[in-house]
């Protein structure tokens, strides 16, 4: 009986092009979302979240919730572009806009990627300083070299597996930290869904928003999903990919939401409750030791290093994707344009890092900068995915467009408010 069932299972596997039926079919599509998730649990998020929690307690947890909902909608939408067209967002931009317009869009995305890489490299360098006492510049250079070698030698599958492992370790690290604190879970749950804007919080609000809904992740997700070439396998493959991609995105972004929320809760419990502000990531690690025990600071530093290295890899991949897209090419770590994009992002970030005096503030500002570029990417994405010429029968519905344009307008309005606030000061 068992043998017959195994034979039936094998036949069904072959009939589905190597996929399992039912719930297990989703396992073929898990990966791209988790690869993207690491991009918004990067050192920039750490700085933004610890600043939010230590300065305002639980009050800004709602920003993570709102940002994650926005991210799920946007990542799901851009993944459809890759599945249906077989093009990433950068390629589609080059093919469907005039050269001046497409280059303006994509170079702004490259600058955003550089800002992202700055935060990732800086975070890894801070972790190396905490663990081994390496000077910040030396640690940053080491992170650049290691991540460049990883990208120039590894394929998607190997990078995906490693990064998924990193995400798991980071998540367990923060779960461990939370078991050592006294959390008011009722107050935290209320703050997660109740918007509030404490005085002086707008920069951190935009920093958290930019750190979660990161422009480079939209390019990266569409690239990773299109690299699986569902379009070339026919309509049935597209249908299955569209069906299960959402579950991948939902799972991955929910993990990211939990980890980011845990950071704010941890900072609120460990610092805000004690009347202390986090002004640097090393200080955060040092303060956790007497508050949470001797092992806490080491766990913090190891998790920060994993977050820095893994997110530097993904930011480099995104930069390579954007730059190769300017030449109407898919990302390929062996191609000169992809490698050029990676190096432009890393070297540019490293040069800027040389002139940063306050590393912690640099992390926060770098994330707020991402929010300034985000509307450009969002409006571009919606324009592409709403076009029947490009997407055919899979073009956005009217209701989807209303939601997407509303989100893009909301981010634009918040950016204008941030700029007005900074000018007024």
Q: Residue 226 has what pLDDT?
A: 66
Q: Give φ, ψ of 397 to 5 degrees.
A: -75, 165
**What average pLDDT does this structure show over 208-226?**
84
Residue 179 belongs to a domain: yes
pLDDT tens digits, 256-286 = 898 899 989 989 998 898 888 888 888 777 6
Residue 24 belongs to a domain: no
pLDDT tens digits, 308-327 = 888 898 899 999 999 999 99
pLDDT band for position 8 (cuts 50, 70, 90): very low
Residue 2 belongs to a domain: no
Give the contacts of 135 (CB within 8 A, at least 6 positions apart).
129
Give the Cα separation of 113 and 117 in Å (integer).
6
**Residue 67's domain spans which residues?**
40-424
Give the Cα separation of 217 and 30 in Å (integer).
16
Give the contacts of 369 (CB within 8 A, at least 6 positions apart).
112, 115, 210
Residue in 278, 344, 334, 379 with CA at minimum distance from that of residue 156: 334
Lowest mean pLDDT among 254-263, 379-388, 394-403: 254-263
Residue 14 belongs to a domain: no
Give the Cα separation of 156 and 228 in Å (integer).
10
Split into its structural domains, the chain has a count of 1
Q: Residue 338 has what pLDDT?
A: 95
Q: Residue 164 has what pLDDT?
A: 66
CATH number, domain containing residue 217: 1.20.1740.10
Give the Cα separation of 34 and 327 in Å (integer).
27
Q: Residue 52 has what pLDDT?
A: 95
224's tokens: 């990773």
Residue 30 belongs to a domain: no
pLDDT above 50: residue 21: no
Give the Cα separation of 117 and 273 in Å (integer).
32
**What average pLDDT does this structure show over 195-212?**
90
Q: What is the pTM of this model?
A: 0.84
Give the Cα separation of 411 and 70 in Å (integer).
10
Q: Which residue has the higher pLDDT, 3 or 206?
A: 206
As a whole number, the mean pLDDT across the chain is 83
Residue 32 belongs to a domain: no
**What average pLDDT does this structure show over 137-162?**
82
Long-range contacts of 406-411 (CB under 8 A, 24+ apart): 407/70, 407/73, 407/74, 407/378, 408/375, 408/378, 408/379, 408/382, 411/70, 411/209, 411/213, 411/371, 411/374, 411/375, 411/378
Residue 267 belongs to a domain: yes
Q: What share of the chain is helix, strand, coil (3-state, %, to 5)?
A: 85, 0, 15
Q: Residue 22 has what pLDDT?
A: 41
pLDDT above 90: residue 339: yes
Q: Residue 2 has what pLDDT?
A: 36
pLDDT tens digits, 50-74 = 999 999 999 999 999 999 999 899 9
| Cα three-residue angle 190-194-195, rounded to 5 degrees | 145
pLDDT above 60: residue 231: no
Characterise 199 by phi-psi region: left (phi > 0), alpha (psi -120 to 50), beta (else).
beta
DSSP H stretches of helix in 276-332:
281-292, 294-326
Q: Which residue has the higher pLDDT, 161 or 148?
A: 148
pLDDT band for position 377 (cuts 50, 70, 90): very high
pLDDT above 60: residue 10: no
Give the Cα separation of 82 and 76 in Å (integer).
10
Residue 315 belongs to a domain: yes
Lowest mean pLDDT among 98-112, 259-273, 374-388: 259-273
pLDDT tens digits, 32-48 = 556 666 666 788 888 99
Tell whether the torsion through CA atoms of 262, 268, 274 and 280 is positive or negative: positive
Give the Cα separation of 18 and 22 in Å (integer).
13
pLDDT above 70: residue 135: yes
Q: Is 100 exposed, middle or buried (0-12, 13-18, 19+ CB in 10 A)?
A: exposed
Give the contacts of 230 (CB within 8 A, at least 6 positions apart).
83, 86, 237, 238, 240, 241
Q: Residue 170 has what pLDDT?
A: 73
pLDDT above 80: residue 155: no
pLDDT above 70: residue 394: yes
Torsion of CA 64, 68, 70, 75, to 10 degrees: 150
């Amino acid at each position: 009986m068992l043998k017959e069932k195994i034979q039936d299972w094998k036949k069904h596997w072959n009939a589905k092009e190597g996929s399992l039926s039912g719930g297990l079919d989703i396992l073929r599509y898990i990966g791209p979302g988790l690869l993207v998730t690491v991009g918004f649990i990067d050192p920039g998020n750490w700085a933004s979240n610890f600043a939010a929690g230590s300065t305002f307690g639980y009050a800004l947890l709602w920003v993570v919730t709102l940002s994650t909902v926005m991210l799920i909608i946007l990542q799901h939408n851009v993944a459809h572009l890759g599945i249906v067209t077989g093009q990433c967002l950068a390629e589609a931009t080059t093919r469907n806009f005039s050269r001046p317009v497409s280059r303006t869009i994509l170079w702004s995305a490259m600058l955003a990627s550089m800002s992202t890489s700055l935060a990732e490299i800086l975070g890894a360098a801070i972790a190396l300083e905490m663990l081994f006492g390496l000077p910040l510049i030396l640690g940053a250079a080491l992170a650049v070299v290691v991540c460049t070698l990883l990208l120039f030698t590894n394929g998607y599958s190997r990078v995906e597996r490693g990064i998924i492992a990193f995400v798991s370790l980071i998540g367990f690290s923060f779960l461990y930290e939370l078991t050592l604190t006294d959390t008011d879970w009722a107050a935290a749950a209320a703050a997660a869904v109740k918007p509030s804007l404490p005085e002086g919080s707008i920069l951190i609000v935009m920093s958290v928003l930019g750190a979660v809904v990161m422009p480079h992740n939209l390019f990266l997700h569409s690239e990773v999903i299109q690299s699986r070439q569902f379009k070339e396998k026919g309509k049935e493959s597209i249908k299955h990919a569209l069906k299960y991609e959402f579950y991948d995105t939902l799972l991955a972004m929910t993990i990211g939401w939990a980890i980011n929320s845990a950071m704010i809760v941890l900072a609120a419990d460990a610092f805000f409750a004690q009347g202390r502000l986090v002004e640097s990531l090393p200080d955060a690690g040092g303060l956790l030791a007497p508050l949470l025990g001797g092992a806490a600071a080491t766990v913090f530093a190891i998790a920060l290093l994993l977050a820095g290295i893994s997110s530097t890899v993904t930011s480099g991949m995104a930069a390579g994707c954007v730059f190769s897209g300017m030449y109407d090419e898919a990302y390929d770590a062996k191609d000169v344009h992809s490698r050029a994009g990676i190096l432009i992002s890393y070297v540019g970030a490293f040069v800027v890092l040389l002139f940063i005096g306050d590393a912690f503030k640099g992390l926060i500002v770098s994330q707020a900068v991402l929010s300034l570029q985000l509307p450009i990417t969002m409006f571009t994405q919606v324009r592409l995915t709403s076009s029947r010429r490009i997407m055919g029968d899979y073009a956005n519905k009217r209701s989807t467009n209303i939601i997407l344009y509303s989100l893009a307008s909301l981010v634009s309005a918040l950016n204008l408010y941030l700029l007005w606030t900074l000018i007024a000061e």
